């Protein structure tokens, strides 16, 4: 029994979780929590002031296993996910070996089951070895125990237009989706940061917005032409938001995600030459940030995805040009969304539930009822929920994160909100802000 929880910020209710679903709810005080009628042995948690959201779903997580267990493992990454309020993460395929066969995706899926902190849905590579030359065994991955529905070469763009067309056509058979890392590689060769005034001042080679936008325009046309589902990873420019708005207006099946860091941070941070701010696509301008927030608010951008990209110290604490791109995200995502979207009034809590749980579940093809509509709180709804305390502000300390890596761009920054508990099908994975 959760006492006095506020579903999506509405009126407080007491909630009974049983057998993996919301079994009952009632206004507090109507009958006390220790009254008759509660099943024997019911644990009672005082959740006064907490907001209940559906368990968060991340479409874009790098768990690094197999291959770079020094940077992250399925165990450590999913522990970080649960602490961040996530109950499902989609694990990207750029591991070593690459997740381009049924064998590797099943291995990652089983590691997720063993860890038990949240559901792990492996993403399959689109092309063999992420090399962009031959399609991987998409069908074998889809029919494997891991039931892959999302395919991506993330880290690399599927830049060959014919290969992209074939991939889109192929996944239609099982309602799969191609998640594209939109980056025209010829336009970004040698790029170190966003192309613009800051890059010009620092003398660093630029990554132009058009390299992202050209691929989004091409792939939206392809998805419309073949009638397949395209998902655009980590949208980072104002022009990309416009293009996705156009593709949606055409009625094409195009969805998109934005990362927390692209909602908050800008390219002037690169002036510090601190590689913690190096990421791909790069941090952009304040105008881009404003367009991304507006796009997420009006639904042009469907969801928030972390692009949690852990890197070992030797790959990050080095000179700017040699450092790997990527930032941690799982343990701070909801706080950054609070700061950038909720506090300024762009999204209410129902909007957060949609952009961080329901929409990504739908895009990722999660089986019902995980993706079922979560209006306020429904009896029979899955008890896969996260409880957020919206009141505290806390300073992020890299050393206290559950991730094996330390590359958070928010170290020393104060962020709002704290996850108090996470439940996966009625079972707590986090209580009192600690993994159980």
- 326 is in the binding site of which of Zn ion, ligand DOR, none (Cβ under 5 to 8 A by kind)? ligand DOR
Q: Least distance (Å) from Zn ion to the CB of residue 181?
A: 4
268 flagged as catalytic:
no
**Closest by CA position to 412, among listed 236, 272, 257, 202:** 272
The values of phi and psi at residue 366, to 5°, are -65, 140
Q: Least distance (Å) from ligand DOR to the CB of residue 330?
A: 14
- 309 is in the binding site of which of ligand DOR, Zn ion, none (Cβ under 5 to 8 A by kind)? ligand DOR
Give burial (CB, 10 Å; 0-12/13-18/19+) of 368.
Answer: exposed
- 357 is in the binding site of which of ligand DOR, Zn ion, none (Cβ under 5 to 8 A by kind)? none
Say how far apart CA 29 and CA 283 lie, in whole Å.
Answer: 49
**Closest by CA position to 181, among listed 225, 221, 211:** 211
The CA–CA distances, whole Å, from 171 to 222, 223, 421 equal: 13, 11, 36
- 332 is in the binding site of which of Zn ion, ligand DOR, none (Cβ under 5 to 8 A by kind)? none
Q: Which residues pair with 255 in a beta bridge?
A: 231
Instruction: Select from 155, 295, 329, 365 the one that contacts ligand DOR (CB under 6 A).
Output: 155
Q: Which residues contact 246 (CB under 8 A, 6 or more apart)?
A: 220
**Element housing 197 (H / E):** helix 197-202
Residue 46, number of CB atoms within 10 A of its CB: 12
Q: Least distance (Å) from ligand DOR to the CB of residue 24?
A: 44
Residue 325 annotated as lining a ligand binding site:
yes
- 405 is in the binding site of which of Zn ion, ligand DOR, none (Cβ under 5 to 8 A by kind)? none
Residue carrying structure tokens 């709810």 = 25
Residue 94 annotated as lining a ligand binding site:
yes
122 belongs to the binding site for ligand DOR (CB under 6 A): no
Residue 333, number of CB atoms within 10 A of its CB: 26
The values of phi and psi at residue 282, to 5°, are -75, 165
Q: Which residues contact 384 (CB under 8 A, 6 or more apart)?
A: 54, 55, 87, 370, 423, 424, 425
Say how far apart CA 372 and CA 323 lie, in whole Å.
Answer: 41
Q: Which of residues 326-345 bind ligand DOR (CB under 6 A)?
A: 326
Residue 280 annotated as lining a ligand binding site:
yes
Q: Which of residues 87-116 bind ligand DOR (CB under 6 A)?
A: 94
What would the x/- binding string for Zn ion be over residues 218 to 257, using CB under 5 A?
A: ---------------x------------------------
Count of chain residues binding ligand DOR (CB under 6 A): 11
Q: Identify which of residues 83 and 265 has a Cβ nearer to Zn ion in the complex.
A: 265
382 belongs to the binding site for ligand DOR (CB under 6 A): no
Stretch that binds ligand DOR, among 191-199, 220-228, 321-329, 413-421 (CB under 6 A): 321-329
**Bridging pattern class, strands 45-46 and 2-7:** parallel
Residue 181 annotated as lining a ligand binding site:
yes
Q: Which of residues 34-73 bind ligand DOR (CB under 6 A)?
A: 62
149 belongs to the binding site for ligand DOR (CB under 6 A): no
Residue carrying structure tokens 């692009």 = 307
Q: What count of Cα atoms within 13 Å lies in the side-chain half-sphere of residue 308?
A: 36
Q: Which of residues 200-259 bind ligand DOR (CB under 6 A)?
A: none
Stretch that binds ligand DOR, among 236-244, 319-327, 362-370, 385-393 (CB under 6 A): 319-327
Q: Identify which of residues 104 and 383 has a Cβ nearer to ligand DOR in the complex.
A: 104
- 325 is in the binding site of which of ligand DOR, Zn ion, none (Cβ under 5 to 8 A by kind)? ligand DOR
Which entry of 219, 307, 315, 354 is annotated as an active-site residue?
307
Tell me the catalytic residues: 307
Instruction: Provide the binding-site residues for ligand DOR, judged by CB under 6 A.
Output: 62, 94, 154-155, 181, 279-280, 309, 324-326
Instruction: Provide the binding-site residues for Zn ion, judged by CB under 5 A.
Output: 154, 181, 233
């Amino acid at each position: 029994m959760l006492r006095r929880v506020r579903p999506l910020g509405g009126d407080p209710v007491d909630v009974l979780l049983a057998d993996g679903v919301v079994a009952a709810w009632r206004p507090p005080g109507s009958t006390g929590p220790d009254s008759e009628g509660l099943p024997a042995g019911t644990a009672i948690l005082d959740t006064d002031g907490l907001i209940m959201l559906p368990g968060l779903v991340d479409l874009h997580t790098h768990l690094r296993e197999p291959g770079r267990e020094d940077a992250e493992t399925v165990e450590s990454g999913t522990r970080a996910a649960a602490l961040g309020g996530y109950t499902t993460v989609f694990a990207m395929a750029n591991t070593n070996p690459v997740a381009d066969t049924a064998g590797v995706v099943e291995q990652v899926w089983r590691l997720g089951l063993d860890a038990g902190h949240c559901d792990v849905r492996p993403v399959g590579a689109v092309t063999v070895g992420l090399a962009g030359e031959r399609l991987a065994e998409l069908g074998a991955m889809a029919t494997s125990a891991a039931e892959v529905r999302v395919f991506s070469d993330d880290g690399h763009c599927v830049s060959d237009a014919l290969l992209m067309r074939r991939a889109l056509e192929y996944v239609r058979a099982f309602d799969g989706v191609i998640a594209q890392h939109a980056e025209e590689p010829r336009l970004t060769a040698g790029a170190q940061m966003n192309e613009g005034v800051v890059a010009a001042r620092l003398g660093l080679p630029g990554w132009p917005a058009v390299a992202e936008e050209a691929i989004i325009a091409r792939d939206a046309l392809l998805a419309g032409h073949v009638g397949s589902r395209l998902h655009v990873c980590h949208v980072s420019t104002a022009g990309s938001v416009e293009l996705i708005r156009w593709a949606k207006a055409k009625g094409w099946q195009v969805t998109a995600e934005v990362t927390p860091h692209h909602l908050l941070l800008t390219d002037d941070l690169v002036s510090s030459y601190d590689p913690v701010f190096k990421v791909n696509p790069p941090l952009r301008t304040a105008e881009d940030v404003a367009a991304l927030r507006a796009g997420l608010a009006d639904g042009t951008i469907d969801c928030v995805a972390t692009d949690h990209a852990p890197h070992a110290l030797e790959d990050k604490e080095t000179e700017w040009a040699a450092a790997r791109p990527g930032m941690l995200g799982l343990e701070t995502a909801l706080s950054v969304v609070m700061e950038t979207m909720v506090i300024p009034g762009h999204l209410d809590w129902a909007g957060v539930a949609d952009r961080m749980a329901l929409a990504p579940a739908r895009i990722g093809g999660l089986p019902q009822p995980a993706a079922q509509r979560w209006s306020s709180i429904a009896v029979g709804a899955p008890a896969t929920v996260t409880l957020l305390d919206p009141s505290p502000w806390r300073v992020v300390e890299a050393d206290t994160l559950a991730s094996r890596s330390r590359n958070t761009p928010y170290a020393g920054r104060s962020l709002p909100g704290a996850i108090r508990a996470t439940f996966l099908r009625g079972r707590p994975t986090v209580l009192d802000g600690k993994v159980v």
